Structure 1
Amino acid sequence: MPSRNVLKILMVSSEAVPFAKSGGLADMVGSLAKHLAGLGHDVKMLIPAYRGVDYTREESINVSVNVGFRTENTVCGRTTLAGSNVSVYLLEHPYFTERKGIYGNEEEEFFADNAKRFALLSRAAFSLLRAIDWKPDVIHSHDWPTALVPVYLRTLERNQGFEGTISLFTIHNIGYQGIFSLHDLHYTRLRLKDVCLEKGEHLEQLNFLRGGIRCADYVSTVSPQYAREIRTTRFGHGLEAELEKRREDLFGILNGIDAEIWNPETDSYLPLNYSKTSLEKKLQVKTILQEESGLSVDPGIPLIGIVSRLVEQKGFRELCGPGETALKDILDRGDCQIVILGTGEKWCEEVLRSLAAEYENLRVRIGFDEKLAHMIEGGSDFFLMPSRYEPCGLNQMYSLRYGTVPIVRRTGGLADTVISREEDPARENGFLFEEITGEAIRSAVAEAVRIYREEPDRILRMRMNGMSEDFSWNHSAERYVELYRYGLRRGRHPDTEESFDIQA
């Protein structure tokens, strides 16, 4: 363990803002790296140089990576993460530079060679570190694309100068595991049992995520509740047994939000800025949102916002899927308005378009619109998130910061951030429901609308409580530093002959 206060941290990820993004992983990695550096730590990052990524090259480093039956001679371009002193290394290889897309594209939803692409990225981390002669205290990798980083550290790289380095592997969504054919094993140069999916007594497929869970010194996920949930059959997606074995080394740290971008006092997308002491301006934002969305302008009717991927995980099957009438029933009551922004599964987009054409109190925008997303957070009275599961969730935290009361299912990060009256009347900031059913969604919305009309002072307290919470990355980054230091004090996860013995 280093005696100095400054930690040397390498982030390895398949995506990071502002270079490449497909979801919340990119936001987390970019923000965490920046805030760790802001705390005074020495942070570097490795990501792929995907086609179309535009960056200012400050240096080129030749990197030779041993994979498959050959050595891949690659180049890492170095740049600096804007607003920080984080050095970002972008791995240039035809696997990344000669096609569009991160994991797939319109022609190929999931690239057939993803196992090779991300095994190369994971092994390249160690080649890069040797090339720049920099030995980190912690290598922090994220989700299945870089799950082999801790596997390599535990196996092929463990006696190659990284004896004092620990690995932290963060699971952002356990539903995506990186499952591949056994034919891809040779490219990784790893042993079968380090990256396999067990089905009974048979070893049938490679599972990158499973390998990361088994081999990482420490494992984290993006909320305390999700860390508990993924150890259960209901949420573990087949890896609950592996996670239960690692329960002493498994931690949940809530993601933060970018408090500069998501701040109602300074948000440039809002026509008026407001704070806890000027909530009357929020009502004016609501009026403008109603006007711009084509809803009838009525400050007295509760406005419910949704900004989401339109997929089953987010609860849309229960909200408006085949045979489900929850959304229609809510609209039929006529006592609220709903505005929805998002894109996703075709069936869901078609159903929502059809409902919007039928109901005057529903407006739907298919696609993504950054300004409208901010307007919905700022102008809505409530924000609905009926997720089947939600590892962390960001929109409920945006909503709380904007004084928009969340209506959410009690799962994952939603349960960690939204506080019901039953839990703590003094800190109540939202509405939670337990079951993922259409009836549960209907009942929760009806209760929120009733409280809005009958107990306005309670709604005001909920708004104020939410706006008083601190969900900034400063707090989350400090938690990660605590975990890094804890891991360095405890040392590396002990090897076992059965799990980690490898071939030369």
Structure 2
Amino acid sequence: MMRKSRKQVYSILMVTTEIMPIAKSGGMADAVSALAQELDRGGHDVRILMPRYRSIERERLYRYPTPYTVRVGQSVYTTALFEGRLGDSSVVVYYLDYEDLYAREGIYGAGSDGYPDNLRRFSVLSHAAVQLGGFIGWHPHVIQSHDWPTALVPLAATRTTRRSEQRPATVLTIHNVGYQGSFPVADFPQTGFGWADLTDSGLLHHDEINLLRCGIISSDMITTVSPRYAEEIQTPRKGFLLDQELSSRKGSLVGILNGVDYAVWNPERDPFLDVKYTSETVALKSRIKKKLQEELDLPVDERAPMIGMISRLVEQKGWDEMITPGFGALADILGGTNAQVVVLGSGEPRYEYYLRQLAHRYDNLAAVIGFDERLAHVIEAASDFILMPSRYEPCGLNQLYSMRYGTLPIATRTGGFVDTIEQAGPRGGTGFFIDEPSPVSITAAVRDALKIWHGERNRIEAMQRTAMKERFSWESAAAAYVDVFERAIEVARSSSRAAG
């Protein structure tokens, strides 16, 4: 646990569109929540600003009696501000309430389509973050924005702060560079900035507005969620046309590996598990597997290795390579081995359809479309392997959870997987790498893992024990973020002195 003693204590405002357990679309929600709470335990004054979605009940929150007026260029939005706490922590969560923009079921859109007014929605949120201090009388040292929806915060902080004032330092955290927030140039007035900023601040990119590019250029410091990913996004292959901008900021770009909340992900105390186990009693996983086989109507067979997949059903996660008809690896695995595969996730309708079709064809596949927290924990515990064939992976969290549960990852050699998994070898290892995201390579890696599972069970159990003892703590991650915040504060001070 991170403890502050001799170092400076900072006030930090995180601006996000999702956070566990309030609103979640992907792994960013887990990361923001865990980081905020770890910084809070370290003595920092951490607060969060996010939209109040329809699912967030007003009745449990404190409402500020005065309307919060947010200025976005020439437009004025009269909003309400609510306040609550993040779980049992002392982290304050502010909810920006403006029904026309945020009172919706989805965070970003309905199904796989984004809302047509997302540029306006998230521009208002970004300006509200910068103006919040003047409304509540609390001025953060640092504003940390997360991904493209809040990437306008750095520019807004620069444009809003008077020359005589010390502006807050800004840190942009990129959870996935593949999602950038691109919009038609005709919608630019919705951002609240002058037309000169379209080109001067990096908003214009390939004849479109690009929010993430603006954040990369405008922020004092940039972080992303693993050291390997920080290197990869500076290359044309994985930079998604922003590699040059990221390379030009490489001195300000830091990769910090996400951690795991081991109070939540712990097979010794997991409330979702009927059978608890440790690294020394990892063989008890077989009992959990048997119960899951019964629950999902899979053949009850202790001789069948179980492969779990907990994933968004999107292209990035390798689902083209897995289930495209006549092409995907999943049919080869199901038809050519005795492995059972359990999939939990939702996403693009075509992938959901293909999964249902395969589940009707093969009795060794169970596909649960949607998300269920209990089932996610049970799959992690019951499975012998977790399959993660991503085309790219900024950090990845499921491989970290899986390792704690003695479930060996089979993952593409990319991003955070490289930083966290040790390839199986004669002297041990904690998982298996897929050389490239292709059906042939995926199937080959799975077959290699299954061969060892069938023929060298002692070796598998030794790898499981090693994996369960690995630790990826938020304490060390939070300390690294504090170092970045300190660098950002110094950059902001220097720029304020230069401007003055």
* Cross-structure match for 1:474: 475
CA contact (8 A) 1:335 1:449 kept: no
Structure 1 CA distance, aligned partners of 2:109 and 2:355?
26
Structure 1 CA distance, aligned partners of 2:339 and 2:23?
38
Structure 2 CA distance, aligned partners of 1:346 and 1:217?
39
The superposition leaves residues 12-58 of structure 1 with CA deviations (integer Å, 9 ceiling, x where unpaired) of: 11222233222222222122111110111111111111223125223
Shift of residue 470, structure 1, vs aligned partner: 1.2
* Cross-structure match for 1:198: 205
The superposition leaves residues 132-189 of structure 1 with CA deviations (integer Å, 9 ceiling, x where unpaired) of: 22221111011111101011123332636333x3111001111111111223322322
* Cross-structure match for 1:33: 36
3-state SS, counterpart of residue 312 of structure 2: strand
* Cross-structure match for 1:66: 71
Shift of residue 450, structure 1, vs aligned partner: 0.7
Aligned in 2, Cα 1:294/1:159: closer, same or farther, shift over 3 Å?
Answer: same
3-state SS, counterpart of residue 53 of structure 2: coil
Shift of residue 426, structure 1, vs aligned partner: 4.9
* Cross-structure match for 1:5: 8
* Cross-structure match for 2:289: 286
Shift of residue 396, structure 1, vs aligned partner: 0.7
* Cross-structure match for 1:90: 95
3-state SS, counterpart of residue 332 of structure 1: helix
Structure 1 CA distance, aligned partners of 2:88 and 2:138?
23
Report how many residues are paired. Answer: 487
Aligned in 2, Cα 1:469/1:117: closer, same or farther, shift over 3 Å?
Answer: same
Structure 2 CA distance, aligned partners of 1:13 and 1:98?
16
3-state SS, counterpart of residue 331 of structure 2: helix
| Range that drifts further, 350-359 or 442-451 | 350-359
* Cross-structure match for 2:3: none
- Counterpart of 1:478 in structure 2: which amino acid? A
3-state SS, counterpart of residue 178 of structure 2: coil
3-state SS, counterpart of residue 481 of structure 2: helix
CA contact (8 A) 1:274 1:281 kept: yes
- Counterpart of 1:388 in structure 2: which amino acid? R
* Cross-structure match for 1:145: 149
Aligned in 2, Cα 1:94/1:238: closer, same or farther, shift over 3 Å?
Answer: same
Shift of residue 493, structure 1, vs aligned partner: 7.7
Shift of residue 9, structure 1, vs aligned partner: 0.6
Structure 1 CA distance, aligned partners of 2:450 and 2:97?
53
* Cross-structure match for 2:19: 16
The superposition leaves residues 334-373 of structure 1 with CA deviations (integer Å, 9 ceiling, x where unpaired) of: 3322111222222222222222222222222222222221
* Cross-structure match for 1:392: 395
- Counterpart of 1:324 in structure 2: which amino acid? F
Structure 2 CA distance, aligned partners of 1:198 and 1:310?
28
Among 237, 240, 243, which residue is 1:240 paired with? Answer: 243
1:6-405 maps to which residues of 2 (within 5 A)? 6-55=9-58, 56-60=60-64, 62-105=67-110, 109-157=113-161, 159=163, 161-163=165-167, 165-187=168-190, 188-190=192-194, 191-193=197-199, 194-199=201-206, 204-405=207-408
Shift of residue 282, structure 1, vs aligned partner: 1.3
Extract unaligned runs of 5+ from structure 2.
1-5
CA contact (8 A) 1:50 1:96 kept: no
Structure 2 CA distance, aligned partners of 1:230 and 1:38?
32
- Counterpart of 1:156 in structure 2: which amino acid? T
CA contact (8 A) 2:102 2:121 kept: no
Length-normalised TM-score, structure 2: 0.92
CA contact (8 A) 2:198 2:204 kept: no
Structure 2 CA distance, aligned partners of 1:384 and 1:246?
34
* Cross-structure match for 2:430: 429
- Counterpart of 2:8 in structure 1: which amino acid? N
Aligned in 2, Cα 1:129/1:449: closer, same or farther, shift over 3 Å?
Answer: same
CA RMSD of aligned residues (A): 2.2
Structure 1 CA distance, aligned partners of 2:114 and 2:48?
25
Identical pairs, percent: 45
Length-normalised TM-score, structure 1: 0.91
CA contact (8 A) 1:304 1:337 kept: yes
